[in-house]
Amino acid sequence: MKDIELNEVGQETQLMTRETQKNGCVKVTVPENAGVKYTGLSKDELMKITSTAGWVQTRRALLALFLLGWAGMLAGAIVIIVQAPRCKPIPEMNWWNEGPLYQISDVNQFSEKGLKGVEEKLDYLTQMKVKGLILGPIHTVQADQLDTLDLVSVKSAVGTENDLKSLLDQAHKKGIPVVLNLTPSYDTASVWFNNVTAVAEKIKDACTHWLKKGFGGIFLPDLRDIMTTKSWPSIQAIFNKTEETKQVALMGSVTSLSADEVSLVLNRSGVDLLLTGLPDPAETGVIKKLYSSHPQTSLGSLASRTPAAPIRLYQMLLFTLPGTPVFSAGDEVGLKAGEKPQIMWDLENPAEEKNATAKTLQEERIAVRNVFKALSDLRGKERSLLHGEYVSLHSSATSLAFLRLWDQSSRFLTAMNWGNDPVTMILSDSDLPAQAQVRLTTDAANLAVDSMVSLEKLQLGPKQAVLLSYPYAG
């Protein structure tokens, strides 16, 4: 290539004129280049070259290398699949096993509007991540008057049949099944009128009646009494699982029974969910025996309004134990016996600044409710908490620690100290990692959420609890 030359005058030495100043450019003359013109090989020339021995061998080598690489990757994938641990099949879950149930025993106490008031609070139950509602009793009854017992009518004090239908329709739209409590005589100590055989026949007819109305289940108290009557097999048959009744639950409760007695009732009654009293956390042997002897999804724990330990500790215990936690209305904010549920709705209105005591109490109840919501959310989505194995790590008269684990999912460790003195836990499990992450805590000052704590010697202050998690390590 020849160098590009300016015109003969040398434009780099010319003064800028109006024409040369145009656009700030300098005109240059580029002579036509008469250089060599390059052309590619023709088809015949390419075919001649590619058919030579060298090119043929090169292509064969590259093809063999590709096939070997492909076969190696396929073999590696097969080895990984064969050696990978098998995922444990997820057990069949029903709606009553997927999260907490909320019990409204006294409809009028819960809301002055009765059944309409319950309907208005369905959004609140959704916010609490509640998976089902146990309602009532709402039927008409007179104390110790078996002849006037009417299990298929709604007492006028709580509302009308239309109010109940509207409640069931709205609950169904929000995905909240409603279970009807059919406690026959709920105003006296003897719930079966001392004639359980006669009541059992009415119970059977009432179950058929209310399930047709759209209820998601029936709850019966003191199963030890009714399960021995001749009517019990007929009641069980109503709940035999078919396409129409597979989402309908038969629930019952027992109280003041040993672990062996609870096991016996559960086996003989055949209920879908058996509720026991609030477990004593000190009786870790009883807890372990119950949950190891039965499918954990068959047992439930009914919370109490007067727990021996702070309410947040019991919330953490019930949400992280196997089984289904059942809370009475107000338990989510620590409402005490005798306090009206209206307190729950007043939490949305800030307390007066001048009333320091009321303001402090309101803040505490909001904090308790936040813990309830967080635990309910975890309980509904973490497999280890839903149906994981229960492993005891530590137990004493005032403290408890246990592990929930499922297959290859994250592990959850609950530790609590309901005593009046600090405790140091030496956790007995060789598979535990050195550290775990704090997910929820009642002692934010020393165990901040999302911080990492050592598991070698876990320390808890008085009346404190913590929920930890760590990933599956393989």
**pLDDT per position as a tens digit, 171-216:** 999 999 999 999 999 887 788 888 889 999 999 999 999 999 999 9
Structural domain count of the chain: 2
Digit-coded pLDDT (tens) for 286-339? 666 666 555 445 666 665 555 666 888 989 988 998 888 899 999 899 888 778
Domain limits at 453?
Answer: 391-470
Is 19 among the domain residues? Answer: no
Residue 10 predicted with pLDDT over 60: no
The model carries a pTM of 0.79
Is 56 among the domain residues? Answer: no
Average pLDDT of the residues in 386-411:
90
Which whole-number Å values give the CA distances from 69 to 63, 76, 315, 392, in the listed order?
Answer: 10, 10, 57, 50
Residue 6 predicted with pLDDT over 60: no
| DSSP assignment letter at 296 | G
Average pLDDT of the residues in 15-38:
54
352 pLDDT tier (thresholds 50, 70, 90): low
Whether residue 347 is found in the same domain as residue 231: yes
pLDDT at res. 5: 47
Return phi, psi of residue 319, to 5°.
-75, -25
Is 89 among the domain residues? Answer: no
Mean pLDDT rounded to a whole number for the chain: 84
Distance CA 325, CA 320 (A): 9
pLDDT at res. 296: 46
Residue carrying the six token digits 């062996």: 260
Whether residue 140 is found in the same domain as residue 251: yes
Please name every residue paired with 328 in a beta bridge, in sequence order, or none if there are none.
103
Average pLDDT of the residues in 342-361:
78
CATH code of the domain in which 449 resides: 2.60.40.1180
Is 275 among the domain residues? Answer: yes
Is 8 among the domain residues? Answer: no
pLDDT at res. 351: 65
Is 310 among the domain residues? Answer: yes
pLDDT at res. 212: 94
Are 229 and 182 in contact by the 8 Å Cβ rule? The answer is no
Omega cis (within 30) before 221: no
Whether residue 327 is found in the same domain as residue 453: no
Whether residue 204 is found in the same domain as residue 177: yes
Whether residue 307 is found in the same domain as residue 398: no
Burial letters 168-191, b for 16+ CB under 10 A, else e = bebbeeeebbbbbbbbbbbeeeeb
Distance CA 474, CA 411 (A): 12
Token couple for 369: 């409710």
Is 455 among the domain residues? Answer: yes
402 pLDDT tier (thresholds 50, 70, 90): very high
pLDDT at res. 371: 92
Whether residue 336 is found in the same domain as residue 404: no
Whether residue 230 is found in the same domain as residue 322: yes
Whether residue 281 is found in the same domain as residue 191: yes
> Which has the higher per-residue pLDDT, 405 or 82?
405
CA 300 to chain CA centroid, Å, is 15
Whether residue 151 is found in the same domain as residue 292: yes
Digit-coded pLDDT (tens) for 41-97? 788 877 887 788 888 888 888 999 999 999 999 999 988 887 766 777 888 888 998
Tell me which of 347, 381, 415 is where a domain ends: 381
Whether residue 309 is found in the same domain as residue 404: no
3-state class of 287 per DSSP? Answer: helix
Residue 221 predicted with pLDDT over 60: yes
Token couple for 364: 């505490």
pLDDT at res. 26: 54
Average pLDDT of the residues in 166-170:
97
Count of other CB atoms within 10 angstroms of residue 165: 14
CATH code of the domain in which 275 resides: 3.20.20.80
> Which has the higher per-residue pLDDT, 353 or 423?
423
pLDDT at res. 431: 82
DSSP string, 449-474: TT-EEESSSEEE-TTEEEEEEE----
Helix (H) or strand (E) holding 163: helix 161-173
Residue 233 predicted with pLDDT over 50: yes
pLDDT at res. 245: 73
3-state class of 62 per DSSP? Answer: helix
Tell me which of 319, 354, 381 is where a domain ends: 381
3-state class of 376 per DSSP? Answer: helix
DSSP string, 185-241: -TTSS-TTTT-HHHHHHHHHHHHHHHHHTT-SEEEES-HHHHTTSTTHHHHHHHT--
Digit-coded pLDDT (tens) for 86-133? 777 888 888 998 999 999 999 999 999 999 999 999 999 999 999 999
Are 28 and 22 in contact by the 8 Å Cβ rule? The answer is no
Whether residue 287 is found in the same domain as residue 358: yes
